[in-house]
Structures are given as structure tokens and as C-alpha cells.
Amino acid sequence: MQNVEQVRFNMIEQQIRPCDVLEGRILDLLHHVRRENFVPDSKQAMAFMDMEIPLGYGVSMWQPKLEARALQELHLGHNDRVLEVGTGSGYLTALLSSLAGQVTSVEIVPELSEMARQHLQPYHRENITLAVGDASHGWGEGASFDAIVLTGSTPILPEIFKTSLNIGGRLFAIVGEAPVMEAKLITRVSADTYTTVNIMETSIAPLQNAEQPKRFVF
């Protein structure tokens, strides 16, 4: 166990702090929500590595530094209502639920949603709602959120995610196509005004059924 804690400490100090994640509550959270409990048994050796971890079905856990940076940029509060598109292993779901008031997490692959449910069960988080479905173009007719995070990339960001934000709401999305993608933080300033900040370059697998750019056919 001591060895695991040392490796966790090294992950935070060598991967996450150098990525400009310095907020104390985020770093503390990464110590207490055990990443290895959300990693498949066959991939335990990769639990703290600076790499994506394949979960099957074309889905991977994010690099630890991307998870931490997203949490810091979203500036979540205890009353915030969050939408997570792509539950995956449930690890980011657990982190989000530790900071926010309510998390709705939607996964298109039923097997992954069930795996996440089992991973989350020991944490007894009553503020998490897991759903199975396609949220690649929004979720919940007329629903609005204080924060939205897309765990798969999208070549084009559907407008519905921006309009589903409450005023002051934040959207963390990775936009573009391989090999050029950008993690962006979009904030809804008013009913029709948004600001966009480019956070970091990265590259991850796309959401299933992600919106595609129109291609010219000659």
C-alpha cells in the first residue's frame, strides 16, 4: 500500500503539478479518490502512468493531467449541476461528484455504464445519476447545467452544449480531429455571449456519433 501511495504522490508531483494544476482541493481529491479502483484489473500497471488507459469499446480513461486540468478549469461549486457526456470508468464522475452538487453522467455503451456503476458503488454518492444513451448532441430536452464536460472529442462542437449552459456555466470540450485537437473552456457570459479559452493541445478518441464536418464531394 505504501508503494501505491508513493506512486500516486509521484503522479501528482511529476505529471499534474507541471500541468499547472495547483489548486489544493483538486490535488487533495486526487489523493483520496483512488484512481486504481477504476482501472480494469488487466491494466493496473498503467493506473498512474501519463497515458490513456483502454477500457474497450473504443473508449479510454484520460491521462491523469487532463482529468485534473478539467476539474480545475471548471471551477465547480457545491450547488453546481453537471452533465458528463461519456461515463467511461466512472473515475471522472467520482471526482466531479466530489466537487459539485449533482452530476448526470450519460454513457452510450451499456457495459461501460454498468462497470462505472460497480466502481462507484463503494463511494455511496447520492448526487450521481447514471444514464445509458446517446448524449453526443445534448441531453435532456430543455435541461440546463452549470458545467458540462465531454469525455470524447468532437470535430465540431454542437451548439446545443453551449445553449444548455446556465448563465455563468462552463463547458470543457476537446475539439478537432487527430492529430490536432484543443481542450477548450467555454463560458456562457449572457444569453447570447460566450467566451472561449484554449487550455491545452491533446488528442483523444471521439465521442460515438460525434458531429462531423461537412465534406465537399467533387
Measured between alpha carbons, how far is 22 from 39 in angstroms, rounded to an integer? 25
Question: How far is it, in rounded angstroms, from Cα 171 to Cα 184?
Answer: 8
The DSSP bridge pattern shows strands 102-107 and 81-85 to be parallel
Query: Rounded to an integer, what distance in angstroms lies between the CA atom of residue 188 and that of residue 170?
Result: 7
DSSP string across 147-169: EEEESSBBSS--HHHHHTEEEEE
> What are the domain boundaries of the chain?
2-202
Cβ–Cβ < 8 Å for 187, 195? yes
What gap in Å lies between CA 202 and CA 197, rounded to an integer?
Answer: 14
How do the pLDDT tens digits run along the chain, 218 residues long?
Answer: 459 999 999 999 999 999 999 999 999 999 999 999 999 999 999 999 999 999 999 999 999 999 999 999 999 999 999 999 999 999 999 999 999 999 999 999 999 999 999 999 999 999 999 999 999 999 988 899 999 999 999 999 999 999 999 999 999 999 999 888 999 999 999 999 999 999 999 999 999 988 887 765 55
Given 3.40.50.1260, 3.90.1300.10, 1.10.630.10, 3.40.50.150, which CATH number is that of 2-202?
Answer: 3.40.50.150
